Amino acid sequence: MIMLHPLFYSPLHSYPLNYLRKNAPLILNFYNSEVQKAKYKGEIYPSDQPVDESTMSIEFFQRDREQNRKGIIGINLREWSP
């Protein structure tokens, strides 16, 4: 599962958003996880998306089903190379 930082898809940073709309629109379809899983082998969510009335997705995905903490990493794709 990949989480997109809110600044990534904000109007101030429209270049990556416009690029994705044109070249990879399924990445921005946050409500069709089955299609994302089929294409990208995982799900992609904005980190500030609400899961319920009191929980944001970034908080939700930091715990497993037994409420144990788990790690989330951030990768700067502009600086990353394989």
pLDDT in tens, 21-32: 888 888 888 888
Q: Which residues pair with 3 in a beta bridge?
A: 45
pLDDT of residue 8: 57
**Residue 2, pLDDT above cutoff 70:** no
Burial class (CB in 10 A: 0-12, 13-18, 19+), 10: exposed
Note the pLDDT tens digit of each residue in 52-82.
898 888 888 888 899 898 877 777 777 877 7
Burial 33-72 (b: 16+ CB within 10 A, else e): eeebeeeeeebbbbbeeeeeeeeebbeebeeeeeeeeeee
Which of the two residues, 16 and 23, has the higher pLDDT score?
A: 23
